[in-house]
Structures are given as structure tokens and as C-alpha cells.
Structure 1
């Protein structure tokens, strides 16, 4: 038999056979046995061995076995849980509020899962010429870059680290860029082009909010223009150039700041600061209402504040009716008044059905009453039980509210830096005061359940 030499590449991916002539020609089986005795068991090229046996080539390395190469796995990818929704198609005669049908943004909240980065998979494994497994090749990782306010956790989820607008961008190479923008900016009016706005961060509007539109935000709302008979609600501060309520506009925030307000409904957890004027406004609640601009005025409307109402002028020379309450938490007082009214109504209902119950019970004692009367009697008895239970519950709450109102009373004060006019109705710690004539530079308080007037002295 000819001399047969077997060599393999360092990476074990190929096996080579070299024949050295010694006067004998090897058979195909001899070649195969020699290869196998060298430990080569995979990827053997039987056709090459057959050809060598028939037409031997000497002193030349010939590839007689090759590995099966591993395959590359599928690439990683990003699964987004929130993306821009396609605009809804309108059906015939379908009614829709076009204020809810405009700019489409994707909002996320802090801690929310934006999506998930799925890792690449491993491809099918291969085998070297010795039959040993070659691990599959992983696919390319997902092309994604997490920018501001977006992070990946240990499980691959993309987490928003702030509330705001989800910004999704992709470059020409297919790389996805994700970030969360905490401020939503509108460089125009809020109208049918923008639609209503609901945002979990801060909102800046470089225009006005047009009538009947709604702006809601968890952060500050800053409006360069005016709020025009619209609804604006913030968990923080609402700041606007002006508020034109049109007797239906509603503004709510922890603080409200504006140059003027007219014919609007206002509600604040902390303070309302108006620069120039507040005309015919209804303040549902605020700890303080302060008009600090020079010659500022409050004319008409109702104001309920816990601690203070202050302006240069309160009321008007024409005696416009203006109601101001300070010193008592208006929310508690409103609940108290509502419970009193409901208790009166339920007491009247109980008073009306009690004789009916008694009459039916008397009849039942004297004679057999009809089945429908028995059913009606049971309904009346159950109704009476419900009313008694409800009245007892309200009675307990009314007692609690009286105590809470008493303990919540503050040293409320109303300050007119220049003039307080007749036509004003003041209630300080539930004590009424109506000035009969104009009073200049005055601050009014309730001291020991008696209205006291003091000269106002500006702080230096």
C-alpha cells in the first residue's frame, strides 16, 4: 500500500491527505480506513477518495474532509409596546369629537415598560472533521440606542425613567433611537390642528388655548397666550398670559398665575396670583388669592379662600355684588352644607312613607291583605331601613365635619390695599360683614368671633 499521510488544519475544519508513491496504488477502502484511524469521522469527501483510488495524485495535499460550518442565528430586535396609532377612519354618519382627533403622540409614565430588547438567537451548530460540535453563531444584536430617560433592565425590558413623550427615531442604517421627552411643546394655539392635550409631564404652549379645548398635564402648564373658555388642569402650576372664561372656562392647578382672569372658574390647592384684575370669577378653593399688580382689582364673582384674599381694589363704585369667604376650608363647608340638605330630603322621605307602613300594618292585623300590598309593604319597610341607616351615617359625618371645620378655622384676612367698596359680602370664619360705605387701606379679620377692621400698612 502507498504511504498515506493525514494532516488537519489548526481549527480542525479541514483534513488533508498526501500520497507518497511506493509502487503500490491504495484502494478506496484503504484510504477511508486511514482517515478514520486518524480520528476523522465527519465531512469525509467520499467522491475525492474514490477518484484518488482510480487516479492517484502523489506528493500533493488534497482536502478529503471538511467541517459543517455553524449557521448564524436570527438578529436581535426591539419590540415596542407603544407606537403611534393610525388615525381612525370615519364611518358614514359617525359622530366624533374632532378635538380628540388631531396630533398623535405617544405618552409614557415613569417606570412604565416601553418595550423589550430581544437578544439574537444562536444559529444551528456545526461539526469539525473530528465530529466535535461547533457552537452556532449568534445573530447580530438589536440595533437600538437608549437615550435620555430610557434604560434597559436585567431582563431586557426598556423602562421609562421619566414621564413624557416617547420619541422614536431610526437612521438610514436601521438603528433605533429611543428617548422620553419630559416637556411637550406646541408652537401654536391649541385648536383643531393640535386637538386636546393630555400629557404626563410639562406642557409649553406658545399660543392660546381656544374655546372648548382641554389641556391636562401632570407637570406645569405654561401658556404664552390666553385660556379662552377652555379647560386647563395641572397637578402643578398653570401659568398664562390671561384667562377669558366665557362663564364656562375652568382652570385648576396647585398654583395659578395669570395677568388677568375674567368670567372663569378657578381652583387651586395652594395659591392664585393675578397681576391686574379678576372680574366675575368663581374661585372654588384656594389657600390664598392675591392680586399683586399696581391698582389690581377684584370685581364681581365669588371667592372662597382658606387664608387670604388681597388686592388694591375690591368691589367697584357701582356696588357690583362680590362675595368673599375666608377662614374656613370651603371643601369641608361645602360637604357639610350638602349633607344637611340631603339629610332634610331623606328625613322628609322617611316622614312620608312611615304613615303608609303603619296603615298597611294595621290592615294586616285586622284582615288579610292582598299579595301585591304585602310586596309593596316589604318595599316600604326596606326603604325605611335604608333611609334610617343613611340618615344615621350622615348624622355622624355632620358631627365630624363640625369638629373639622372648627379645627380648620384660620386667621383669615381680606386686604384692600386702596379701597373696599359697598356691595361686597364678606364672610370670615362664618361671620358676615357687609360694608355700607367705601373703606380705604383696610384689612379685615375675625377676632374672637367679631369682625375687626385695621388699617393696612404695606410691608417694606
Structure 2
């Protein structure tokens, strides 16, 4: 504080002007005039809305008439850029651990799972949204703050995926499972899993199924293509439109 009991300072990030005062007998109008004088000497470019600042000064005084770190001016923050991204039609990558209700018996069937990644030929997967540039800001001293450049992810359709160049919409070009690898969207025609049982849930897939391990008791596999099992098939149900 100086002899008048007023302190004006710039925050460390230079985005705010802070006022503290220990001058309970000083009228807000006189305090504002002193603050404006200080701002000019500090080369602060932000102009004050006087009526708004007067209201702030009155409201900020505590029971002893003191003011602590009141923000009276702020810089213009940067608007961050938005990188290129995919706006998915639905969450194709949600966990499949949730059991579903078997309506025939009106009970939860823990061998059935809600699988979200399986799609059909021609199904809309989502839309590639182009990057959006950020907007520069400015601190209270008038210095520009340059916004970063948006990331160019360059998502491209991969295997079994079709892109509409005009709209940016991406579609499945066959039945299968959605997969995102780095910047490529693909549809897998083979469903691969370690084991099929209570932990994995039953598998119903429009293409081929590859089980690297075992198919446990009471498990079900229904495949639109061939089914290959690397381990043991116990008392399970396997239906396939191809080879088993």
C-alpha cells in the first residue's frame, strides 16, 4: 500500500488488474480516480467501465472498509483451436461388460452383452469435422497472445469404410466391427477374442469369428462367416454360415 492506502498490481499471468485498499474513509469516486492515474503510469491499455468499477469497489469493501485483490480489469483470453475430429454417430467403443435383459424370461442374462461396435453395410459411422482456428487474445498491457494452430489429425477412411467427400460423413462398406487405428477408421470383418464364456459374453457377429482360446460351457457363438477355435469347445452352441 502507498500513502493513500491503495495498491494496484497486475497478476502474474498479466490477464488481470488487481486492487487492494486500506482506506475506509476514502470515497469510491476518489479511489477510482487514483486507480485510473495508476493504470496510466503502468501502461495498462484496458479502459475501465467506471460505473461498473464503482459498484465493484462498494461491494468489495469488508466490515473494516478494506478491499483485497479486487479484479477491476481483465485481458482478452485466447480462444483455443479445435483440432480435426470425428463426431461419431454413436459410441461404437463403449464397454461391452453390461449384461442385458432377456425379455423371454424377463431376467438379466449375464451371458449376453450390449455390444456397440458391430455395424451393418451402409451404416453411418460419423462425420469428420475439419479443424477450427483459434482466436488470438491480449493481456492487460496490450501484448498479443497468439493462439496455437489447430492439430491436423487427417482422419481418413481405411479398410471397408467409405467417405463422402462433400459432407465428410463416413459409412461402413460392409458388415463388421468398427476400429480406429491412429488416423484411420476401419471395419474388421473378423471378430477376434481370447475366450468365449461368462466373462466375454456370447458372440453374435455378421462376419467370421476367431477364438484364440476356449469356448466354455453354455456359451453361444453365432457367426455370419466361419468360426475358428484355437482351444477346446466345451458344451457350447456354435452356429456358422461358414466353416467351423
- Whichever structure has more strand as a proportion of its residues is 1
Who wins on radius of gyration, i.e. which is larger? 1
For CA contacts below 8 A with separation 6 or more, give which structure has more relative contact order.
2
- Whichever structure has more helix as a proportion of its residues is 1
Name the TM-score, length of structure 1 as normaliser: 0.28
